[in-house]
Structure 1
């Protein structure tokens, strides 16, 4: 038993090491953003869309918000903590007027608890505001996808925890896309998604635009 315990304890630092270095898998994506910035310097004071694949796949985001300047820095497969980790490279250079975040979906799929996701969002807010104090931040609710239907209870709980946290903060907003995406039966609907049941089609993004646009316009066109 003593030998087994010693072996288990010896593995603990290794697990911590993996957790600490897991962000490195996104280095190529972040470097690609930096190369793009060097070739075509992005505007200052834009609205920064950041997060996982629902942002990365939103190729038309600039055209969908034509009245404002928009930067897309989504990297697919990422978790909330990845955006926090790389904030000095994908938030700080732009000094955004406002930030729209979609993340947490992959976190739950990878086994994170709802409270962990909420705590990671708090950490994101702290980090973003250490770079740009007071920057308005919107959290797009984790969507109810067909592919992750089994996670619906955890998605609901996470969204509620984030909503409660946002309500206690100045200029932190929870944007509810979750409820409008549900059917009358309270279940995910196929109509919003492409064939994989996870990533959204144009109909899904059109719904998001209608919900997110008032917040973007309020903070980009009429900042307080």
Structure 2
């Protein structure tokens, strides 16, 4: 009986520690792999990579009925997570990649400087270019969620620096969604956000879609 109990405890501890060692969003990436095994991802699609604003855009294909979309937004991911899982996230054959990520980096560390987030983005961009030197790559500006207003100054600076960086890169674009989400007085429209004042309503996604369409292949 003691041997059985000891074996059970060892197995329990082994399972516990194996789960503890798994990095953040590991399960999300496994779900992507499972989806890709069940249905072969289409070639020459537009690949969306990023955080929860993409994750929650579950009906994104309906906004772009003439496009083939692969949505690989996951959790509340940060640019450091995109870099960590780059090999998995870039394991497709897209004709274009559109990225939305960065605001969670600031939320994770409110003292984070804009340059740190910009450097994280540049690192991910370089990883994309290593594998896909000739496809279109676009970045959607960090949105100014009302619930994160105190982080807006760093976000604005990061947007500015990323816009300047993307302007210098070949086959690259910076998709500015900030103006479209403002009212006539230049204030962020709270009606475009759900109750948490972080994630968006369908009207918010409609604005994003309109901003993205001119850039989409």
Could you state the TM-score of these two structures normalised by the residue count of structure 2?
A: 0.86
Residues 49, 100 of structure 1: 8 Å contact kept: yes
Deviation at 1:22, TM superposition (A): 9.4
Residue 183 of structure 1: CA displacement?
3.0
Which of 104, 122, 135 is 2:102 aligned to?
Answer: 104
Give the corresponding residue for 2:174.
174
Distance 2:165 2:192 in 1: 28
Taking the aligned partners of 1:45 and 1:85, their CA distance within structure 2 comes to 24
3-state SS, counterpart of residue 32 of structure 2 = helix
Q: CA RMSD in A?
A: 1.6
Partner of 2:14: none
Q: Corresponding residue for 2:146?
A: 146
From the CA coordinates, give the structure whose radius of gyration is larger.
2
Asked if the contact 2:182/2:189 (under 8 Å) is kept, the reply is: yes
| In structure 1, distance between residues paired with 2:22 and 2:118 | 19
Contact kept in structure 2, 1:79 and 1:105, CA below 8 Å:
yes
Q: 2:146, 2:190 within 8 Å by CA — same for their partners in 1?
A: yes
The whole-number CA distance in structure 2 between the counterparts of 1:70 and 1:52 is 16
**Corresponding residue of 1:193:** 193
Say how many residue pairs are matched: 196
What is the deviation of 1:185?
Answer: 3.8
Structure-2 change in CA distance of 1:100 and 1:128 (3 Å): same
- Structure 2 counterpart of 1:27: 26
CA–CA distance in 1 between the matches of 2:22 and 2:95?
A: 26
User: How many angstroms does 1:180 deviate by?
Assistant: 2.0
Unaligned runs of 5+ in 1: 1-20, 220-224
Contact kept, 8 Å, 1:163 with 1:174, in 2: the verdict is yes
Q: Distance in 2 between matches of 1:60 and 1:171?
A: 27
Aligned to 2:12: none
Which TM-score applies when normalising by structure 1?
0.83
Q: 1:186 to 1:22 in 2, by over 3 A?
A: farther
Asked if the contact 1:144–1:182 (Cα under 8 Å) also holds between the matched residues in 2, the reply is no
Counterpart CA distance in 2 for 1:119 and 1:210 is: 28
1:1-224 matches, within 5 Å, as 24-92=23-91, 94-111=92-109, 112-216=112-216, 219=217
Task: Please state whether the residue corresponding to 1:143 is helix, strand or coil.
Answer: coil
Q: Describe the SS at the equivalent of 2:47.
A: strand
